[in-house]
Structure 1
Amino acid sequence: MANVLNVKQIDSQGASVGLYIALVAAGTVYNIMGLRFSAYLNMFMVVWVFIGTLVIIIAVPIMAPTHNSAKWVFTEFMNTTGYENNGMVFLIGLLSAGWALIGYETGAQIVEGTRNAAKTAPRGIIICVIGAIVQGFALIISTLFSIQDVDELITTDMPIAAFFLRATRSPAVTAFFLVILLVAQIGSLCNSILAGATFMWSLARDGVLPGSKFLYKISGKRNIPTNCLIVQLVICILIILPSFGSIVYWQAIMSTAVIAVNISYGLPLLCRLIWTRNNMPKGPFHLGRLGLILNAISIVWVTFFGVILCIPSMSPITPETMNWSSLMIGAVMCFSVFFWLISGRHNFKGMTQTVEK
């Protein structure tokens, strides 16, 4: 059995970076084709993710040679971080959860190309949140009952592949499950690329970004911000290149991304509480009296979570295990403030309203 489960792992930074660039480039090209193709992708992804999730949730426990007890699944607490305080370890564990608690806003960023956006966007966000909760619990419980070797998952560089291999005892089935995850990730990547480019276009429309006139251009019949997509691709490529010098850099980028996205969620809510607490315009979808209460709770959570995500995940703390995200966020903030002082405050005149008659 050991010989069957031993597979060769390609551990090359060049291969990883090349694959990263190829996928981002492919996702960019796909989005340049137009919103119609994005709609096709989303309809396909709904079916793919639903069926794929059911297949993995059901098949893995059935194929697993042994199963963990319910007591172990729901009560076992393992501390392999080097920290002595289990409370600290629990808080650090929220970093993994943070990856699953982002991305809901992409529906609002690309909703300008849909009908009845004022209702479609919030409805889509709510469906995503509820769906993620149900899917997440089902996958977590199925996984925990099917884990064969916890120590192996902690030490290996590819824990998902190792988990599938040990649970299914079949490289072919493992490859099939990984393809399910890969296609889901590619679909998510395409949507994230479009959401990022659309958000960049919105900022350019309001004159916030450098080169806003160039970025604001829309490509003819496809109604796609092609310039924003291309600039975003270039930025993504440039950002990953320093990872050839140190893998710590890329880990810092990933941690910073989670923190920055959560901060972006909290800032509009904070602005509402400070400046438009009592005179916030209401659209066809609103939270009524619960709005202010939920805003305040969200701001407290984002602040707390932002601090937690800056804590190093391992002890003792070395340059390799240090969480450098706080340094990178500080650098971004310094650049943003500097650009605002020299340019942004002179060009930004408020949100630009675009209305079709």
Structure 2
Amino acid sequence: MIIWLIAGCFLFTIGIPAIAPVHQSTSWVFTSFNNSTGYDNVALVFFLGLLQSGWTLVGYDGGITLSENTKDADREGPRGILLCVIFAVIQGIALTIAVLFSIQDLDGLLNADLPVSEFFFQVTRNRALSTFFLVFLAVAQFGSLANASVANCRLMFAMARDGCLPYSKFFYKLEKGDVPLRIIVLQIILMIILILPVFGTMIYWTAVLSASVICCNVAYGMPLICRLLWSRHSMPKGPFDLGRWSVPINVIALLWIVFFGIILCFPSVSPVSADSMNYASLMIGTVFLFSVICWITTGHKTYKGPISNIDDDDDDLHS
């Protein structure tokens, strides 16, 4: 997948502009501002457009989920996060510039049912070639799905170990080959249930994206706020340390998370109707309500804090 993604990055940043019939001007790419939202406030329109970049700049914890299998993890884990962010920014800017220069008909893209397919067809003027680009993207998306599934399974298995999930004792089992098959099946079922409404309306998908970005950022911010409020002076330092920049960076990150979470709950167009409403806040509220009910009914009885499994017997996990 690493080779595939690197090849894809070069393919799209170099190949797409190379075969595009015409190119947009530099001034249009870097200075043009198109507002088709219905909002008059330019700043609000700009912030609403940050959803895509916000969705791209998540997954910092991807490397951390594998850190226990990494040599010198207390140093390489944080370095991996920094490299992940830096390369994501570089790659994102390169792809964005390549796409903007290659756009042939902006109105056609905005009105298309499948803008990505329309973009490739505008550039290539060839159905077979545009299909090739779509397949290349689909394989990359599958790799992203696999990566997210691995990270999510490890997280859910750890939650089952700590008694956080309903029926944790049932799910905290390993099958032959040390595979958490029950967690994997549970995750597949949940993903199918959550994705099915997309076939009915794309409004649901927009809400899923917004809610996902908000929840990811809130999860990233929880350790930061705990560190600032309760462990600012008592937290032990590891071999990787930000020094005097640690507290200012933590504060800036928390302010951004709060601000970004509010922006992502705004409807993307105006005037707002039932079809254009942003239901991300409703989704987050539902998840929060479900979590509170689980905590009141069973969670406070089964969850006693993170549990170390260093002394777990393999036979106990497989039974």
Partner residue of 2:183 out of 220, 228, 251:
228
What is the letter of the counterpart of residue 66 of structure 2? I
Q: 1:227 to 1:112 in 2, by over 3 A?
A: farther
> 1:114 deviation in Å?
3.7
Aligned to 2:27: 71
> 1:126 deviation in Å?
1.7
**Counterparts of 1:230-269 in structure 2 under 5 Å?**
230-243=185-198, 246-269=201-224
Q: 1:120 to 1:297 in 2, by over 3 A?
A: same
Aligned to 1:292: 247
Query: What per-residue deviation string (whole Å, max 9, x for no partner) do you get for residues 181-204 of structure 1?
Result: 111111110010111111011111
Distance (whole Å) between structure 2 residues aligned to residue 139 and residue 190 of structure 1: 23
Aligned to 2:126: 170
Tell which deviates more after alignment, 82-91 or 112-121.
112-121
Q: Does 1:283 align with 2:234?
A: no
Aligned to 1:340: 295
> 1:100 deviation in Å?
0.7
Query: What per-residue deviation string (whole Å, max 9, x for no partner) do you get for residues 17-51 of structure 1?
Result: xxxxxxxxxxxxxxxxxxxxxxxxxxxx1111111
Aligned to 2:274: 319
Q: 1:144 to 1:246 in 2, by over 3 A?
A: closer
What is the letter of the counterpart of residue 16 of structure 2? V
Partner residue of 1:149 out of 90, 101, 105:
105
Aligned to 2:61: 105
Query: What per-residue deviation string (whole Å, max 9, x for no partner) do you get for residues 227-286 of structure 1?
Result: 211111111122234456654334322321121111111112111111111111333323
Distance (whole Å) between structure 2 residues aligned to residue 103 and residue 234 of structure 1: 22
Partner residue of 2:76 out of 105, 109, 120:
120
> 1:154 deviation in Å?
0.6
Identity %: 47
Aligned to 1:89: 45
Distance (whole Å) between structure 1 residues aligned to residue 174 and residue 76 of structure 2: 23
Distance (whole Å) between structure 1 residues aligned to residue 83 and residue 311 of structure 2: 28
What is the letter of the counterpart of residue 249 of structure 1? Y
Tell which deviates more after alignment, 302-311 or 223-232.
223-232
Aligned to 1:131: 87
Distance (whole Å) between structure 2 residues aligned to residue 356 and residue 75 of structure 1: 60
Q: Confirm or deny: 8 A CA contact 2:65 2:151 kept in the other structure.
A: yes
Pairwise CA RMSD: 1.9
Query: What per-residue deviation string (whole Å, max 9, x for no partner) do you get for residues 94-136 of structure 1?
Result: 1122111112212212333444333332222222111111111
Runs of 5+ consecutive residues of structure 2 not aligned to the other structure: 313-319
Q: Confirm or deny: 8 A CA contact 1:111 1:121 kept in the other structure.
A: yes
TM-score (norm. length: structure 2): 0.92
Is the partner of 1:180 in helix, strand or coil? Answer: helix
Partner residue of 2:96 out of 126, 131, 140:
140
> 1:347 deviation in Å?
2.0
Distance (whole Å) between structure 2 residues aligned to residue 280 and residue 159 of structure 1: 49
Is the partner of 1:319 in helix, strand or coil? Answer: coil
> 1:225 deviation in Å?
2.2
Distance (whole Å) between structure 2 residues aligned to residue 308 and residue 288 of structure 1: 31
What is the letter of the counterpart of residue 307 of structure 1? I
Is the partner of 2:243 in helix, strand or coil? Answer: coil
What is the letter of the counterpart of residue 260 of structure 1? C
Aligned to 2:170: 214
Distance (whole Å) between structure 1 residues aligned to residue 22 and residue 202 of structure 2: 36
Distance (whole Å) between structure 2 residues aligned to residue 172 and residue 128 of structure 1: 33
Partner residue of 1:328 out of 261, 280, 283:
283
Tell which deviates more after alignment, 282-291 or 188-197.
282-291
Q: 1:62 to 1:245 in 2, by over 3 A?
A: closer
Q: Confirm or deny: 8 A CA contact 2:55 2:209 kept in the other structure.
A: no
Aligned length: 312
Distance (whole Å) between structure 2 residues aligned to residue 167 and residue 47 of structure 1: 25
What is the letter of the counterpart of residue 155 of structure 1? N
Q: 1:244 to 1:48 in 2, by over 3 A?
A: closer
Partner residue of 1:273 out of 228, 240, 244:
228
Aligned to 2:315: none
Query: What per-residue deviation string (whole Å, max 9, x for no partner) do you get for residues 320-357 of structure 1?
Result: 10001111111211221222223222222222224479
Distance (whole Å) between structure 1 residues aligned to residue 255 and residue 209 of structure 2: 23
